[in-house]
Structure 1
Amino acid sequence: MKLTTLTLAAALIGGAAWAAETAPKDVVFAEGGAIEVSLTGVAGDPVEGANVLSKRSLGNCVACHQVSALADVPFHGEIGPALDGAGDRWSEAELRGLVANAKMTFEGTMMPAFYKVDGYIRPGDAFTGKAPEAPLSPLLTAQQIEDVVAFLATLKE
């Protein structure tokens, strides 16, 4: 009995560690742009999500959006809507879709697609002015998307 219990526990733990990450090309958007299923199968970390939103080298969401919960981060933008109350305005699936590729919800948006690797008009190779020589990688990882969604879901009115 102990061996069976240990084997089952190891299988469950191992299965969680090997949860399949959804590749950017395999993401399924529902009508309206929502992504119903987690991209990683792992819960997002709201603290890490706040970090992604505020770091220039990551999502840098505050460059366009105001977020009162991140008042200590300077220079909030006014291009995009304020994210205060985002957890009340949108479901987790809708938030995931907006962060992954907002153009699936709002066709004319200026917001970058953070989890996309193809379909760009003229992708560049960083700041070199040349076309990329290798396949493009998404701006954020699947887990970073889940972390941002977890943080945004905490922003209630």
Structure 2
Amino acid sequence: MKRTTITLFALLAGLGMANAETVAPADVTYEDGAIAQSLTGVAGNPTEGAKVISTKSLGNCVACHEITDLADVPFHGEVGPLLDGAGDRWSEAELRGIVANAKMMFEGSMMPSFYKTDGFIRLGNAYTGKAHEGEVEPLLTAQQIEDVVAYLMTLQ
């Protein structure tokens, strides 16, 4: 009986995680640039976050930021601040807001908005005739944002 109860509890807990709703980019609530609640309801994975940060086809954060922990990744940038100690400088909510849309906290930031799908100016047709059609997907998924935040929180 005890084993059945534990199994049932684990199954129900797993279903709760599977049913966690992802917050859509347009529904994100910023408070002074920070996002207090998880975008997915699922804890971020720091290992996956490091992959997003260091992979050119994903976040490619090292193109602008230097991170000593990722020294084996070539060509770190110097445009953005050094991310060593990011977990000490900013709270989890602040980091989530910065990664999702840094312009909400730092108005003049050059950092891309990784979790934004509207408000873009599309001049492509005037120059190339090849402007993007239809809805825009965010650069990173909600879970990738959570993974990056989890990794940045380890940098203390």
Give CA-to-partner distance per residue, 1:12-45, whole Å, 9 cap, x none: 2211111101110110101x20000000011101
* Within-5 A mapping of 1:86-101: 86-101=86-101
| Per-residue deviation, 1:9 | 4.0
Contact 1:87/1:152, CA 8 A, preserved across alignment:
yes
Give TM-score, length-normalised by structure 1.
0.90
Q: Which residue of 1 aligns with 2:14?
A: 13
Query: How far apart, CA to CA, are the structure 2 residues paired with 1:36 and 1:105?
Result: 13
Q: Which residue of 2 aligns with 1:120?
A: 120
| Per-residue deviation, 1:11 | 2.5
Report which stretch shifted further, 131-140 or 116-125: 116-125
* Within-5 A mapping of 1:76-87: 76-87=76-87
Aligned residues: 153
Give CA-to-partner distance per residue, 1:58-115, whole Å, 9 cap, x none: 0000000000000000000000000000000000000000000000000000000000
Once superposed, what is the RMSD of the aligned Cα atoms?
2.0
* Within-5 A mapping of 1:105-144: 105-122=105-122, 130-144=130-144
Which structure 2 segments of 5+ residues have no match?
none
Counterpart of 1:102, as a letter, is: A
Which structure 1 segments of 5+ residues have no match?
none
Q: Which residue of 1 aligns with 2:54?
A: 54
Report which stretch shifted further, 72-81 or 12-21: 12-21
Query: How far apart, CA to CA, are the structure 2 residues paired with 1:104 and 1:129?
Result: 31
Percent of aligned pairs sharing the same letter: 68
Give TM-score, length-normalised by structure 2.
0.91
